[in-house]
Structure 1
Amino acid sequence: MELDTGAAVTAMTKADFMRIFKSEPQLQKTSIKLKTYTNEVITPLGQLQVKVEKGTETFYLPLLILDKGSNPILGRNWLSSIKIDWSQINKMSIDPPDYAAKIKILTSTYADVFSDGIGTIKGIQGTLVLKNDFRPKFCKSRPIPYALKKKVEQELDNLERQGIISSVKSSDWATPIVPVLKANGDVRLCGDYKTTVNPNLYAEKYTLSRMEDMLAQLEQGEKFSKIDLRQAYLQLPLDEASKSITTINTSKGLYSYNRLPFGITSSPAIWQKTMDSVLQGIPDVQCNQDDMIVTGNTDEEHYQKLHSVLRRLQQHGLKANLQKCSFFQPKVLFCGISITKDGLHKTEDKIKAVTEAHPPTDKTQLRSFLGLVNYYHKWLKNVAHIAKPLYNLLQDNKHFSWSTECQKAFETIKSMVASDKVLMRYDRDLPLRLATDASPYGLGAVLSHVTREGDERPIAYASRTLNKAEDIEKMAKSCSGCAMSQPDPLLTPLHPWRWPDKPWQRIHIDYAGPFLNFMFLVIVDAHTKWVEIIPTATSTSSATINILSTTFARYGIPEQVVSDNGPQFTSEDFRAFISSNGIKHTRSAPYHPATNGLAERMVQSFKNAMKAAKHDEGSMNLKLARFLLAYRNSPHSTTGESPASLMFGRLLRTRLDICTPSIQTHVTGKLQKQEQHHSQASPRTFSTGDHVLVRDYRGYERWQHGQISSQTGTHNYEIEISPGVIWRRHSDQIVLASNPVPPPQVTVITLPVASPIRPQDVQIPGQSSTITSPETVSLKVGKVILLNQKFFSLC
């Protein structure tokens, strides 16, 4: 355990406990809350008593178990109980993770990624697309400062030696160069393409990731690694058609780029699209142009993702600048923001630039100051409102005059930027809370996380000033006289109640009356539209509770009750009744009956029905019963089903059912008629070998002779009509033959295959006559079969 005399308690994570003791901790509840040095509140999962031995002494001490954290902490509560003799302690040390060994493995495994020179992406080429009406533009070279001329020429030679550029004799395009001095003293050559190529170029349509989106993807990281790609754009080859477009004009002549150059309007989108495809599928990795940031929930996960990223760079031929890379850092700079596990911080250089700024003397300096402040607008609450005097100075029709009000706003903004406010990193598992604010001069908002301890920590602030139209509208709305005399506002959009999932889940209640010398408690189930209407002499809380208790005994206790603000529904007795039964009570807004519209509408329907039945016979209770029976059994316009069928799964039996026979009675009657019709028929059976007449449905002859060959069912038989010809028939299609006819004789005549014959040439054995026919038959098979003196040919 790690000794921490600043910690009041002893604690370890659940994962460490299970790793050490090989079992789940048997936790007890605790009200203790911990606070870190960054004022973050941590709620332990629980605590347990553990056995601690020191020499011959044994102690049972409390150990807090946390959801996550670092090393186990030995706090003051254990130290005061154990009373360690520090003079006997020779040495205490903690071995930090061996990051150096891991970094050495990474740099040696992927040595080609960190080698000198500029990489070349494999299998991908950049393409520049010109507009249809493009016009090539040729510009002469610009003079270069003498102090930079040698460095520029050396850089040109270096780029040509590496194959980044190639010397050309002539070109339709020529762009002057702009040398940019880097921090290490080297120069970067950029073409001034805004004067030549960019106006003639179709910009690449690829959405660049917002800074907020990239930072949100790093939510769970504890440590961070940053990889800097060497001369990023120059690692992407161009296709042949695009090379001549990028020609630059220098003091040494014309050169065309073989790689994607800086300064082209499409270069950022082309490069970002390329890197997104290279890194696709690797989580917790974000790339912003030439900078990549890698993180992980644990050091091991972080290490494995670094392997994945570097392996992907190696496969695609990309190279990184090891001197600008950093690994396993608690703090990294990314997109101009300092990132730690605790949140997002402003960088010291930008804070210094704001706090040391002098009051602006013209609009240009003021715009520069506000632009720098705007970079950190997420940290500054209501900055647009505070900076209103400064923004007013930027208006076109306003003379620049620095006033006391401007100076006050200027100093306030500088102090806000200099504050040590830390923004919490976005966590998708935590709820969000948005707070908004408005003033006569601007609008403001803050987006916060609600931590597991219930605290709010800001993620970002937002604000802006009002434009002229909004200023006029604000003034009109601030007129108190107009506000006091205005009519009711327009109706808000309808927000219907959610239809409950089951019966008697949410009920709506309301009182109707006094009506017919009674008060009536109307209860409507929101799911089934089932209605209960109970007359009562009074509408007090006690009477309401008694009625609801009886109703709940019949149908069960609902989850939610909706009512108006009547005194019987707002009394302490009714609140206690609702609370004791675990019911959620929702009351409508005063003078807004539409909130409890289901009960209100039922009250109207009930009153109209009772008025219509005024002259009917019977007591009031009988008329109410008739209404309820008819209503419960009628299809509802909303559900399409009757309340009874949704409540009980069936319709209620009424007097109309006496007039309508049931399905059982109807089916039974039909079956009895069918049995009577068939009872008059006498059964017929046949035996194998019986000669019968069989119904023939093919032609004009209704019956054919045959012989029963087998019985296949109670009334089904197979009958042999002729050798090899079997028919299946029902007994209703068979009758006994009075004159049995023997099966027909078959005479087979063999002839040569495909020999044309005439019927008159065919002699039938045992017959004196010949077959006569005016037609000549050509056979494809060498057999002719004569059945019943009829001529057939087989093909």
Structure 2
Amino acid sequence: MHFATVPLQAPTARLTTYLEEPISVLGCLHSTVSKFGLTCPAHFFIVEHGTALLGMDLIKGLKLQFDGHKVLSPPHVASVCTLSSPPLKDVRLGCVKYFTHKVNVSDSVLPIRCKLRRLPFSVRDAVSIELRRLPEADVIEEIDSSPWVSPVMVVQKKTGGIRMCVDLRGPNKAITVDSYPLPHMEVMMTLLQGADTFSTIDLESAYHQVPLHEDSRDLTAFITHKGLFRFKRVPYGLASAPAAFQKMIAIILDGLQNVANYLDDIIVWGRTVQEHDLALQNVLQRLRDAGLQLNNSKCQFRKQSLKFLGHKVTAQGIQVDQEHLSAILDAPVPSDAVQLRSLIGLLSWYNKFIPNFASVVVPLRACLKAENGFCWSEDAQNSLTEVKKLLVNSPALALFHPEWQVVISTDASAYGLGAVFSQIVRSCPSGSIAFASRTLSTAEQKYSTVEKEALACVWAVEKWRTYLWGRRFILRTDHQALTTLLTTKGTDCAGMRIARWATRLLCFDYSVEYRAGSENYTADCLSRLPLPFVSDTTSDAEPEFVTLVSTALTAISKEEFATASASCPELSALRMQISRSWPASLSALDPVLQPYYKLRAELSVQADFVFRGARLIVPGALRDSLVHIAHEGHQGIVRTKQRLRDIYWWPKMDINVMDKIAACQLCLSLDKTTKVSQVPLQPVPLPSAPWEKLAIDIVGPFETAVWDCRYAITLTDYYSKWPEVAFTASITTKQVTSFLTTVFSRHGNPTTIVSDNGPQFTSPEFAAFLKGRNIAHVRTANYHPSANGAVERFHRVLKSTIQSAILQSASWKVTVTDFLQVYRATPHAITGVSPFELLHGRKMRTSLDVLAPPSAVLDPSQLRKRVLARQEHMKLRFDHSRHVRPTCMHVMKAHPKFTPPVEVKEKVGSYTYLLEDGKKWHASCLAPVPDVASKGTGDTETEQGKPSHAFLSGTSESVPPGKCQSRKPAWLTDYVS
């Protein structure tokens, strides 16, 4: 129809497309349409261009009928595809409508300007042609300047041409990538189940059809020999491009059936040719309306099998792409580790097609672990040949059908897990859908057989959770015990680990079936030939603990209680007394029954059981057993008595409970009221000369320090109090010996060096270092830092200096160096003389000295008297105000304070003891074993293992807690006592 001479009326409505794009309406026309003898009035909207649309009013008025299966025929498919491409004379690419990509750039990253990379002369002409073509296609534009400048690189195509690329690694560091997810390969393939006709659509230079926002274009600027350019469309290599493009295509195709895409690769399918053609027409129409241009040479229409994402897709399932397979078969032997990793990565893409893939590539992976570097062995060559053979003969994997019965077959071997995902339709297997295997970790290999089999089940179910959750499936195993252990009917019989795994499966609806290993061949093979284990955030590997398991306490039955009650002489006499009248006085009663006299009004006999009110009176033979049962959770005395009082009673029950709990070694270890031994201060004698006896220690780590100041090694001279400090990044034995070597080169070797029991000081290397210099090594008692008080006291001053450096934002090393000069020149509180003067025999000249400092005249006897006087004064104050604390080390919440008893073997110092387990402890870390415990365990002495105390019994050197003497008040002085 032609409307050039027809008068049009003003439009009566505003029209838009399904993407809310306004449609330009030229006018309206009212007319009458006749067809097949029928006449119907119609209202037409006249637009500039586009396909004519017939409204429902005309379809119903003219009684038109359409056969949906004949709407699209093969010629139409080709014509629609052709219409999706511009005329040959138009060199511009398609440009998507309504979408503009704006890149989110972090302000914290400064722009990077790269220099021009000179291109080889052989490709310069080809690059020049590309730089002329891209502006004509409206992809790039020339500019004068940009804060971001990236270099150009050239890649050789298979056809012999070149592909010009921009190295955008610099700008990508500043880009905040959209978190829109890319579809998973397995999920996409599941959608194809039941389809027998397929088509794939490829977009021409897909990213280049998406316009780039004006504010983001400078980010893509690149330098060439022709000048500076920037992209007007989204370039390849931009970090934010994949997620943004996937999101855009998903929006364009939203609502359409039988279509999925992975970036610019679009697949359309149908269960029939008609269903496929209708879906294809809808997809092509959407793409054309969006302004996207297709790459006709790469599109495939109405195929029974085609290539998609490296796989061959057919109605029977998915197979290995023969083109990719040819690349693997023709691949040369790797010459280095990088090429081998690339080859293994390519092979791993197809591992789901090969049940025993992991075992075949073991020799290949061994080449990567060679101690002497990469070495291609004969086993590796045989492995590569075998995996190529397996790929050629690999089976096709069936596609998941949501209506068919799912079967998960699992198995476990000594070092691996295996699983097979399959389905059953009409009681017949439909084929394997996926294979999986993995290696057990070192901890998991220590599990029992039943635990490994249970782990295989849990791992397989959670691996395929996407397919299994919300549907009934069969979990098949060759370990018959799991048919009850992994179900609700058998959880009570399972161990703690299996019971916990069973709770993880409670959200699934499944049944466990047993199948012998001979019938479960595939899963059994996978478990014995597993993939290498890759740890994740939800690893089932657990730390191993060695636990002392005691015999479980057995509950007392009613029959046992009745038997014990009947055979108890005390209760037999009590029953007889209750049946008679009680005497008038207590003295007239049998001594055995006297404790019951005051309670006689509450006593009664019911069915040969004696009650005090509603509580049972326990026969003597069962009292200890009931106390043990009530104390099973090792609660305190009060709570144990409360448990018993609700049900039972017997004379002196409270005393029995207290005695039993006081004899419980575990409760003694946990008792917070147990006091350690109070030990008086033990001064260290002053050495006979400077630099004769040294103390060494390590302080740190400092959280706010720079990397090379996280720790500080400190050294102090017992005689002169001269300190040495060295900052270090690590605290290995090598660092300590290097520090000592430097110090000894200045001052010489000492006679003795004192340290704690840190691993740096107990290592064989440190012992060899001291032995080579003829230096005696003295280690303090475990967890008794005050034994090395000389250096520990210096740490307090050193930490204050570091804190001042932090507050002033000053260099730690400079601040500590200045502090050491002042410290060495200042008279010490103990000696009254500066460390410098005692060590060097002269005074240090400092900035305070106007004249040369006078020569020092030191009297060793006076020095020794002063030191002894100061030490006696400190000892008097310390011993007088001594308050014992449970421990000076950190005790974690889940750990007990004390260990079980350990006997003292030898006294090796004034207050230091060697125990039977070979450990040396100071008396301040030991506590006596209570007498009540000694009655049950013998006279034993215990020590404190990390992090708890030990017990020490009957040491004469222990200082008892001080007691205040009670004095008679003044107002009672007139009374005679």
Class of the TM-score when normalised by the shorter of the 2 chains: 0.3 to 0.5
Whose Rg is larger?
A: 1
Flag the structure with higher helix content.
2
TM-score by length of 2: 0.38
Higher relative strand content: 1
- TM-score, with length taken from structure 1: 0.46
